[in-house]
Structure 1
Amino acid sequence: MLLMSSLIFIFLVVLVPHVVLARGIRRSEEILVFDQNYKVTWGDNHVMSLNQGKEIQLTMDNSSGAGFASKMTYGSGFFHMRIKVPGTDSGGVVTAYYLISQGNRHDELDFEFLGNKEGKPYSLQTNVFADGEGNREQRIHLWFDPTTNFHDYKILWNPHQIVFYVDNIPIRVYKNNSNLGVSYPSKAMQIQASLWNGENWATDGGQTKINWSYAPFKANFQGFDISGCQSQSLIDPNCVSYNYWWNDKNYWCLDPAGQRQYENVKQNYVIYDYCSDRQRYPIAPLECIH
């Protein structure tokens, strides 16, 4: 009897956690399939499903680009996508991953990869729209080549802050300063991604046009599970609940290590910040001061 009890104890302590973990892995793998959470929204014949739906490739030629979007909208969350952007001569080509609300005075959170001539670096632009007001562009040069491998791009959005991450390194923070009269995104947003022609503005202020001899351009996406508060209404008070881990106090501000990483990005990789552009803003916008 003692031996049997010992064996049962060993099974519970050692084997059961592995069974639970295996279930979690299987569930996660199922969620990663594109069709479960996303749908193609335009350019159907320029979209290819790879690896049994765990990877999507968008292509662009001189006839069309392509895009996809989440089936649901979300009122808060920690959103991510693994992306590999077009290589070679990609000037004028824009790969976008963003959140956007519908209707007038929309909210929007943008990752925009701005292609460049061969041998010149990509620029990664982020932007924040709140209550229809945008023009909050920041651009960085990445510390790696985003055309050669997949990298993680994430957006934390809760009632206290929005943080843009690249490979878990914070590259931008937008705090909730609504108490000072600064607009802050609060509308339910859909996740979208696209590959499109931005030659009128994206590279060298629109001076560099797309070299179509390099078409079709290809952008690849992975990681289709979503950590977000699903919302059917434009403003959903349930999405600010502390029951969602991304709303926990630990995510109200960067921790010390994250703050050091963020300061390093600002010092060494930022190439444009609207907060410092005195030609556009002789007086710095209020959110830039606080």
Structure 2
Amino acid sequence: MALPKFAGFLLLPLLLFISGAAHASGVSFDQNYQITWGYDHIATLDNGREVQLSMDASSGSGFASQKSYGSGFFNMTIKLPGRNSAGVVTAFYLISHGDRHDEVDFEFLGNREGKPITLQTNVFADGVGNREQRILLWFDPTADFHSYKVLWNHHQIVFYVDDIPIRVFKNNKRIGVPYPTQPMQIEASLWNGDSWATDGGRTKIDWSYAPFQAHYRGFDISGCEFQSQDAGRCYSLAYWWNSWKHWVLDEEQERQLEDVRKNFMNYDYCADRSRYPVPPPECH
């Protein structure tokens, strides 16, 4: 499979240090995050600037941001479990909590050694999900760290891999499509997904390869911290990610996105007529 001919990466603007936007370079894990489960399966490294999640037959593990956010540009740098990771799911996502939750997912679906790892993205809004897209990455995500990012403003959600846009979910509330607007935490986890993750659940986890380990870096956060008494401020144009030039992709980003879709996408819910004989409205 040929590599896409990316002419260059989008150079993101310098982050503005404005009131309510949390951002710092090289911050340690415990400044912005906390362990949520699998406490004895998590290790902090490099003076707290790296976290290792582990999973074995007894448990996986996960962590979450200490605060919730109403918009932002969220980044995590991840190195996935190597060797035989079939059935193992490594995740990085935004999520609200409650019955009708919002969620924006990166899920990495492990595979047998030598076979490609699938990246699945999904969007839930007002409790409605089932918007999966899947791509095969153009590099080995187990060999080194790569960055995975989400831009979330009131106009669009953009998923990035190493600054290359791989998916856009537009705000189409005007045509009745729910859009994530609830305050969301940033979460990450390593967990057992062998009921569905690899070959539709036919390939199970080989526990002889445990413990499986995923490494996370980049615990600074560029986001509008949610405050219930002033929720609307997270749409303010004072935050760079809400500025007009982030309402749509530019021409180069559109080309990069099309290259990814053409060369690496192997599933799109919008094209799945067995699930959606009539495509959802956002797919038109």
Common fold: TM-score over 0.5:
yes
Query: Percent identity at matched positions?
Result: 65
Q: Using the alignment, how far apart are the partners of 1:66 and 1:232 within structure 2?
A: 29
Residue 238 of structure 1 corresponds to which residue in structure 2?
233
SS, match of residue 191 in structure 2: strand
Residue 82 of structure 1 corresponds to which residue in structure 2?
77
SS, match of residue 277 in structure 2: coil
Q: Using the alignment, how far apart are the partners of 1:33 and 1:259 within structure 2?
A: 35
Q: Using the alignment, how far apart are the partners of 1:61 and 1:235 within structure 2?
A: 43
Residue 24 of structure 2 corresponds to which residue in structure 1?
28
The answer to whether the Cα contact below 8 Å between 1:188 and 1:233 also exists between their aligned partners in 2 is no
Q: How does 1:90-101 map to 2 (within 5 A)?
A: 90-101=85-96
Higher helix share: 1
Matched, 1:166 2:158: no
Matched, 1:285 2:280: yes
SS, match of residue 263 in structure 1: helix
State the shift of 1:29 in Å: 4.0
Residue 264 of structure 1 corresponds to which residue in structure 2?
259
| Number of residue equivalences | 262
Residue 275 of structure 1 corresponds to which residue in structure 2?
270
Q: Using the alignment, how far apart are the partners of 1:151 and 1:235 within structure 2?
A: 35
The C-alpha deviation readout for 1:195-224, integer Å capped at 9, x for no partner, is: 000000100111000000000000000000
Residue 140 of structure 1 corresponds to which residue in structure 2?
135
RMSD over aligned CA atoms reads 1.2
Residue 58 of structure 1 corresponds to which residue in structure 2?
53
The answer to whether the Cα contact below 8 Å between 1:186 and 1:235 also exists between their aligned partners in 2 is no
Q: Using the alignment, how far apart are the partners of 1:29 and 1:100 within structure 2?
A: 24
The amino acid that maps onto 1:59 is S
Could you say if the C-alpha distance between residues 235 and 46 of structure 1 is closer, same or farther in structure 2, counting changes exceeding 3 Å? farther
Residue 247 of structure 1 corresponds to which residue in structure 2?
242
State the shift of 1:49 in Å: 0.3
**Aligned residue among 109, 112, 120 for 1:114:** 109
The answer to whether the Cα contact below 8 Å between 2:24 and 2:221 also exists between their aligned partners in 1 is no
The C-alpha deviation readout for 1:121-140, integer Å capped at 9, x for no partner, is: 00000000000000000000
TM-score by length of structure 1 reads: 0.89
The amino acid that maps onto 1:112 is E
**Aligned residue among 200, 209, 213 for 1:214:** 209
Q: Using the alignment, how far apart are the partners of 1:175 and 1:182 within structure 2?
A: 9
Q: Using the alignment, how far apart are the partners of 2:248 and 2:25 within structure 1?
A: 31
SS, match of residue 47 in structure 2: coil
Ranked by relative contact order (alpha carbons within 8 Å, sequence separation 6 or more), the top structure is: 2
The answer to whether the Cα contact below 8 Å between 1:187 and 1:234 also exists between their aligned partners in 2 is no
Q: Using the alignment, how far apart are the partners of 1:38 and 1:93 within structure 2?
A: 23
Q: Using the alignment, how far apart are the partners of 1:113 and 1:261 within structure 2?
A: 21
SS, match of residue 144 in structure 2: coil
Q: Which runs of 4+ in 1 moved over 4 A?
A: none
Residue 7 of structure 2 corresponds to which residue in structure 1?
none
The answer to whether the Cα contact below 8 Å between 1:187 and 1:235 also exists between their aligned partners in 2 is no
Structure 2 residue ranges without an equivalent (≥5): 1-22
Residue 126 of structure 1 corresponds to which residue in structure 2?
121
State the shift of 1:58 in Å: 0.3
The amino acid that maps onto 2:233 is N
Could you say if the C-alpha distance between residues 235 and 145 of structure 1 is closer, same or farther in structure 2, counting changes exceeding 3 Å? farther
Greater gyration radius: 1
